[in-house]
Structure 1
Amino acid sequence: MGDGLKGPGATSPSTNPSVLPALPPPRGGRARGSGEGGPRAQRLATAAILAALLLAPSLALAQDASVATDASRPAAPAPARAAGECVADPLPADHAPAIEVTVNPPNPQVGDRVRVTWTFRYRTHDRVEFEPDAVALQQPAIELEYAREQPERDRSVHGERDGRLRSEVTVALQPFRSGDVVIRPMNARVNTGDEIARVCTPEVRFRVRSVFGNTSHPQARDITRPEDVRRDALTLRWISLGLDALFVAVVAALSVAAWLRRRPKVVPPPPPPRHPYFIAREALEVLSRGDLLARGLTKDYYDAVSDVVRRYLGGVRGFDAIEMTTDEILAHLRKHPLAGVTQVEVENLLRECDLVKFARYVPAHEDSDAILASAVSLVERGRPTMATAQEASRGGAP
């Protein structure tokens, strides 16, 4: 019966269920084969067609579901980069900054303060931002740590001769174990105005030397024989004693000089006062040679004559006649008269001078000469004796 289902151009339902099997055309109302199996084969073919029609939608849904499942499955992840790996963006050669790293000191020892400086040179209209990565700088595996005192961050930008800009970033590190130190590249950002790109700094390598040198297991040197150092010690002692003596001498000299300066100085006694006679004679001599009358200063002339006579009278009798009135002077002379000088003569001379000074009296030229002669006569009558003159001469009299 299986052969009766197959015919030219027929396909098995198991091979492709979505395609209906082709029926052989009837020939005389019977299929080729046995005469009694025709109706049964026809029924089987009809059942197969119905089964194919019923199963076709389910198979189509199953195929669509498998396709959707494949589409929703996540794509394979990209290979992950290593932690802390520096990633650089593509930049033209003239846009990329020049980066230079210096280590100071170049050959540090254990415990030294190592300054690592990144120097960036870039175009004038670009900006570079760089912040060192603490994870890359602090490496506990090789005992590399940040130094306690960090250099002050200088964010200023300096101009170069070639027209580019230069900026620096400095970090202080401190290694505590000898060996090679490797600081991986780190990211810096370049702002070109149109975009912000990432660039990588160069890798930093330096070797930390041990304080014991290159010897892995240093040994102490042998003890040297003792040396005689007494001569040097005595020399230093004598030098020290000499310096001490010099210091004491300088201090003593300064002390003596200070004492001499503080000691009260002996002031020579002043010369003895001159006799009022000599002072009055010199003043009257100056008036006689003066030109007060020639210049018409009659009032000043009489005032000067009056002052000379008043000083003379006050000096002889010991009172301040300059500040007294004429009446007060006359009252004082009544108690202590002058030898050879009358009270009337003194009063006439002083009254005439007061008239010219206060009453605007204008005397004649002869009267002016007469008042000077009266003053000279009054003073001459009080001339001291010879002993008094000698004493006055020792005091500086002419």
Structure 2
Amino acid sequence: MPIRLGRVLPAFLAVSLAVAAGAEEPRAVATAAKTEVTVGEAFAIDVTATGPEGTAFTFPPGAEAETFELRTAAPPGAAPVPGTHRYEATVFTLGEVEIPPIRVRYRRSDGTEGETATEPIPLKVVSLLPKDPDARKLADLRAPVPVSIGRAFYLAAALALAAVVGLAVWLLRRRRRRKRPETAPPVPELPPDVETLRALDALAASGLLARAEYRRFYIALAATAKRYLERRLSAPVLEMTTAETLAFLRRHRHGSELVPVLRDLSEAADRIKFARGAGGREEAERHLSAVRALVPALEARLQPPPTAEGRAA
């Protein structure tokens, strides 16, 4: 019995299209804005996910390890394109480094779920020092230049000496005329925790938040927190950048738990101080409370463990 081509061809095309649609698997591709970065430099990583029509993708909020940090970047003014996600990455070590695969969850239109991952991202991390070795060397000191001294110099020196002698004689006579005041005893330096808590109380009572002077508030709050860490952890924290401070705390045996507080405070302070971002009183009071809570928490971790006699008592 003859088979009509008009009936077979549509069925064959429908089956072919269904097979092709099922064969298309979701995939994710990561692209770094730079392949060579410096230690602590922030750069963007864009992840693009594609798949069959109707597939929804869920991107992880970020990742954190000893050598790198990956966080979701602040969204721009316009809404991101569906299936795309931007991260802000920072690397804290030198040499050849790889950002590991970023895993993306997906859900097809028929309800099936799965996971795909990007390829690792190779990076070259270089030092902040100049690449040219000659540029790193200290410049040679110039030889001393002889200076001719004339008669006017000696005359001026004699007048200055006479003025100094006259002033010394006048001060000596004046001192003899009055009783020498008693010397005040030196004021002992406050412990770091006491000094910091008093400084935070003074900052809270300064009225900066009531006047919406958020830039001055965050400058004072960040300096207070870094001075406390410098005195307590015996490190030049006041001279460190934000990236250097966070890297130092990750390495310190008592500092890893302080990283979220300092990172949150530093991001807000940098946004307001340098990017002229808008501040809010509720957020500022939250940061003040977080720094205040940091002090007793670190003091407790720095206390020596109780001795056997103390536990028995």
Normalising by structure 2, we get a TM-score of 0.35
Select the structure with the greater relative contact order (CA < 8 A; seq sep ≥ 6): 2
By percentage of residues, which structure has more strand? 2
Rg larger in 1 or in 2? 1
